[in-house]
Amino acid sequence: MSSMRLPPPWGGRIDRETALRFSFNGQSVHAFAGDTVASALLANGIRLVGRSYKLHRPRGIYSCGPEEPTGIADIGTGSTRTPNSRLTEVPAADGLVVRSGNCWPSLKHDLLAGLGIVSPYLPAGFYYKTFIRPDWKWFEPAIRRLAASGRPSEHADPERYGEISLAADLLVIGAGLAGARTALSAVQAGRSVVLIESDLEPGGRLAAQVARAPNGMALVESLLADFQRAGGRLLTRTTALGSYDHGLITAVQTGAPGAPVRERLVRIRAHDVVLATGAFDRPMLFPDNDRPGVMLAGALERYAALYGVACGKRVVIATACDAAYAIAATLSLAGIEVAAIVDCRQAIDIGVVDVPAHIAWYPDSTITAVHGSAAGMSGVTIADLAGGRLRRLACDNIASAGGATPNVSLYAQSGGSLKWVEESSMFVPDKPLAGVASVGACAGIFDVEQTLEHADAVGRLGTSHAPKTPTPGVGFGAVPADNQPPPAALALYKRHPAKQFVDLQNDVTVRDIRIAASENYRSIEHFKRYTTTGMATDQGKTSNVNAIVLMGRATDRAPQQVGTTKFRSPYRPVTLNAIAAGRTGARLHPVRHLQARRFHAERGALFEEFGSWERPAAYPRPAEDLHAAAQREAAHVRNSVALFDGTPLGKIAVYGPDAAEFLDLMFVGQISTLRIGGARYGVRLSEHGVIVDDGIVSRLGPDHFWVNTTSGGAEQAALAFEEWLQCEYPHLKVLICPVTAQWGNVTVSGPLAWRLLHSIGLDDAFAPERMAHMTMAQGALDGQQLRVLRASFSGELGYEINLQASRTEHLLNRLWHAGRALNVGMYGIEALMILRTEKGFIHVGADTDGTSLPQDVGLWRSPGKKPANFVGRRSLLRPAALDSFRPGLVGIKPVDRATPIPVGAHLGASGRGDAPQGHVTSSYFSPTLGEPIALAQLAGGASRMGERLRAWSFGKCVDVEVVQTPFFDANNERIHGQ
């Protein structure tokens, strides 16, 4: 392992006093604090770092930033493993474990590299044609294994993640020269400004040019110091991921090694956004341009200046732009031998011609071959287009400089269109956007003076009054659009040319683009998906422009006519945990616990999650399963008395002089006619007439209502009420107050329910003969305020005792001990589902779906039933809603009265193969009836009573009969108890 470190002062970001060691594929690698994994590998002379996605070709580090297409590996082990990480962005750390993916049995000896032999038969889209017969599914597993890249961890991530939200008058993205000037001018104009930078330190391209342009970086540092002194906020290690409506930008901030938070999701809401995101290097195209050692020229300069790394000992620069000459000067200053500059342009078109005497200069020339192996290159062959001759040059590194690609991703995400600048061969922002401006290189401005002038104006005047963007491309120089070797150059080599790769990550070649064009692909979006160009994790940062130019050449169109693909967020890959912002486990999906959880646990409760609450599904006894326990509990309710914790039931207090009118609008039923103390079942609809929730509404006073919702719909109902009040009925004087958390609910059910309540001292006013079914009354017990609703979801005599939530456990304990003489029991959700099915009561979400209207479940007969308006009413009058053959809720039983009917079973006349006419929504064995019962949605509904059908599920059929509901106590006599 050879050291490629440069002596000080090269390596401004590394601390040579702090040595680190990490492993790469089991090999120990020496590094310094401040290194990235990529810089450390290059410093140790390690060129081969991975294998390509499709053909498993050897690949090395290609760039020095987020555009890296090939230097991708798995970082960490066990629970800390992060797959497919860009080595150019991963800080080196002591003890870090880095492993290359997509290779077997090892990186150096990858058996799948043999695919190169058959690569002529594996062009773009080959799998669409080759594996279509007999069935793609036969080949898919093997193909996916061949193309597999990193491997995620199978364990929970122990790292911490967070999130913050910021607001500002102006957000500036990119802390290079243009961004720093904009931010300072804006904060000096009295605006609140947030400036974010994705790199570890600000400076942009100038940070790497400090050796040849020290004044530039000094200017940036001065601007940023003044900016922070003036009250501006600077966030480094923060990458903007996406641009959304109303000035919302999402970003991810990466913590330094050892930081308490690994990544933080940042949401920034800004009135104006200024993009100063710079530009990427555009690569040259030539045969074997994917070999380890071929790199972007700007990356060589950054590695030398920032990390003190020489990417090669003898470098050949292949270029089509003037920027390469300044890079050559930097490399020479660092002591790196620049063997030659190979410029595909004619000398007359080159703006910089003062090439140092020690550097060979070959204008009007191009690389036609790269020599060497996977371990490294030994030289190149170049063709002199004017003289028609070949030269072989010894080198171990090729620096590719084909022009610049402005980073327009966020501009395009914001809705901006792009235009093609012919002189400099680049896409730049076309028209100004409301609230969004681009400055510096991402706007196509490369002249320093113009950059400072334009950025200052944007900062002072704001995006809406900023002057017009200077002419794009000025200060960059002429660049040919098609920078691949011409056929004449390749012919000089007198051998079949090697592959020229356009997209290194996806192994897309120039030939693939020509094949797509020959197969009549014209839309750039279709072309992208067919060839996979610009897909995957790099989103075409280094490949898209070359691909568009080549596609245009193959189809006789200009790049502007070909167009660009859609720029999507996230701008760069981001971990799922960063997006979740640490919301994993209970933080991702919080589960609420009952106030009386201890009481239930002491009685053997089996807790399960229902509507974000952990509630008793049943109370199994030893040797009982859930089914047996639910059967026993349901029978107990029918025969004696049992307790149920209904605390999660939604509770909303509705106040105001217009409360009755408002609730009439919210529910299908007429709420305003309720007398004080009365209660009424109500169903709530969406604008489309679809059932979204149900519950009981009680009237406590002239302007005071108590609305019960389902436990899963409590929050949604309150939000829906607020939305209608704020957006559609703002003139109504109504106050909505969700009180689910303040009130507990203990439900006492069964024929002996009143005897139990009377035994603990409840006032005789609540006795069944004095308190009617579907009424609510207020009272007290031992000085504790109660709201008692006489209602029943079980069909038995039932009381819902609403009281202070913290007193729920006390009341349950008192009822439990007082009820021993009555053989009091407990029942859970599963028993309740059996009881309500016996009565034919619907369960919203189980017996209804996203198409169920109230008439489908017998809750609305005709417009005359309630002539007043309500949400969803008009939708109930559409022809489809009035179709007599709509699915309707019916009861069904097995013909043999013994075979269970599976939930979800399809109903039809003959079973399997028959067109489904409905499906089973609820199914239980009734302990009261001693037979299976079920509810189903059936086309035609109640009009098909007595019909016999077949219920088919997973290859098994059950003969069933359509019957009336309720299955039990059709005259509702049992709600009055004993």
What pLDDT, on the 0 to 100 scale, is given for residue 98?
A: 95
- By CB atoms closer than 10 A (0-12, 13-18, 19+), residue 365 is buried
* DSSP at 814: H
* DSSP at 110: B
* DSSP at 64: S
- Per-residue pLDDT band for 585 (boundaries 50, 70, 90) equals confident
CB 803 within 8 A of CB 746: yes
Please measure the distance between the N-terminal and C-terminal CA atoms of the chain and give it in whole angstroms. Answer: 92
Rounded CA-CA distance 350/323 in Å is 11
- Per-residue pLDDT band for 913 (boundaries 50, 70, 90) equals low
Which is more confident, 159 or 683? 683
Name, in order, each residue with C-beta under 8 angstroms of 972's C-beta and a sequence gap of 6 or more: 795
Name, in order, each residue with C-beta under 8 angstroms of 373's C-beta and a sequence gap of 6 or more: none
pLDDT above 60: residue 1: no
Rounded CA-CA distance 960/948 in Å is 6
pLDDT one-digit tens code per residue, 20-62 = 999 999 999 999 999 999 999 999 999 999 988 888 899 999 9
pLDDT above 80: residue 797: yes
Sign of CA dihedral 294, 299, 304, 306: negative
Sign of CA dihedral 104, 109, 111, 115: positive
The position carrying tokens 């991402």 is 442
What pLDDT, on the 0 to 100 scale, is given for residue 352?
A: 74
Nearest to 85 by CA among 73, 76, 77: 73
Sign of CA dihedral 738, 832, 594, 158: negative
- Per-residue pLDDT band for 242 (boundaries 50, 70, 90) equals very high
What pLDDT, on the 0 to 100 scale, is given for residue 586?
A: 77
What pLDDT, on the 0 to 100 scale, is given for residue 132?
A: 74
Q: Which two tokens stand for residue 521?
A: 């692909």
Instruction: Return the SS3 of 631.
Output: helix
Rounded CA-CA distance 62/952 in Å is 59
What pLDDT, on the 0 to 100 scale, is given for residue 140?
A: 77
Q: Which two tokens stand for residue 764?
A: 């005789």
Fold of the CATH domain 871-975: Elongation Factor Tu (Ef-tu); domain 3 (2.40.30)
What are the C-alpha distances in Å from 370 to residues 329, 556, 714, 788, 802?
A: 24, 30, 68, 87, 82
pLDDT one-digit tens code per residue, 919-961 = 999 999 999 999 999 999 999 998 999 999 999 998 899 999 9
pLDDT one-digit tens code per residue, 928-937 = 999 999 999 9
The β-bridge partners of 746 are 645, 801
Comparing 321-325, 639-643, 645-649, the range with the smallest average pLDDT is 321-325
Rounded CA-CA distance 461/480 in Å is 36
Q: Which amino acid is at 617?
A: A
CB 344 within 8 A of CB 73: no
Calculate mean pLDDT across residues 906-929: 87
- Per-residue pLDDT band for 159 (boundaries 50, 70, 90) equals confident
Is 592-648+742-827 assigned to CATH 3.30.1360.120? Answer: yes
- Per-residue pLDDT band for 126 (boundaries 50, 70, 90) equals confident
pLDDT one-digit tens code per residue, 683-737 = 999 999 999 999 999 999 999 999 999 998 889 999 999 999 999 999 999 999 9
pLDDT above 70: residue 226: yes
- Per-residue pLDDT band for 884 (boundaries 50, 70, 90) equals confident
Is the model's pTM score more than 0.85?
A: no
Calculate mean pLDDT across residues 363-382: 92
What pLDDT, on the 0 to 100 scale, is given for residue 44?
A: 96
CB 308 within 8 A of CB 284: no
- Per-residue pLDDT band for 156 (boundaries 50, 70, 90) equals confident
φ, ψ of residue 218 to 5 degrees: the values are -60, -35
Calculate mean pLDDT across residues 234-243: 96
State the Rg of the chain over Cα.
36
- The domain limits of the chain are 283-370+390-398, 592-648+742-827, 650-738, 871-975
Cα 85 from chain centroid (whole Å): 18
Q: Which two tokens stand for residue 890?
A: 């019916």
pLDDT above 70: residue 862: no
**CATH for the stretch 650-738:** 3.30.70.1400
pLDDT above 60: residue 587: yes
Nearest to 420 by CA among 561, 518, 538, 243: 561
pLDDT one-digit tens code per residue, 300-352 = 999 999 999 999 999 999 999 999 999 999 999 999 999 999 999 998 888 87
Calculate mean pLDDT across residues 273-283: 95
Rounded CA-CA distance 678/697 in Å is 8
Calculate mean pLDDT across residues 103-122: 79
pLDDT above 90: residue 157: no
Q: Mean pLDDT over all residues of the chain?
A: 92
pLDDT one-digit tens code per residue, 400-452 = 999 999 999 999 999 999 999 998 899 999 888 999 999 999 999 998 999 99
Calculate mean pLDDT across residues 884-890: 93
What pLDDT, on the 0 to 100 scale, is given for residue 730?
A: 95
What pLDDT, on the 0 to 100 scale, is given for residue 863?
A: 66
Strands 956-963 and 887-894, bridge-based pairing: antiparallel
Q: At 683, which helix (H) or strand (E)?
A: strand 679-685
Calculate mean pLDDT across residues 913-924: 89
Rounded CA-CA distance 673/733 in Å is 19
Rounded CA-CA distance 630/829 in Å is 8
For 836-851, the DSSP string reads: HHHTT---TTTT--TT
pLDDT above 90: residue 103: no
What pLDDT, on the 0 to 100 scale, is given for residue 550?
A: 95
Rounded CA-CA distance 94/73 in Å is 17
What pLDDT, on the 0 to 100 scale, is given for residue 912?
A: 55
What pLDDT, on the 0 to 100 scale, is given for residue 146?
A: 67
Percent of the chain with pLDDT over 90: 74
CB 908 within 8 A of CB 916: yes
Neighbours of 810 (CB within 10 A): 17
pLDDT above 70: residue 107: yes
What pLDDT, on the 0 to 100 scale, is given for residue 773?
A: 96
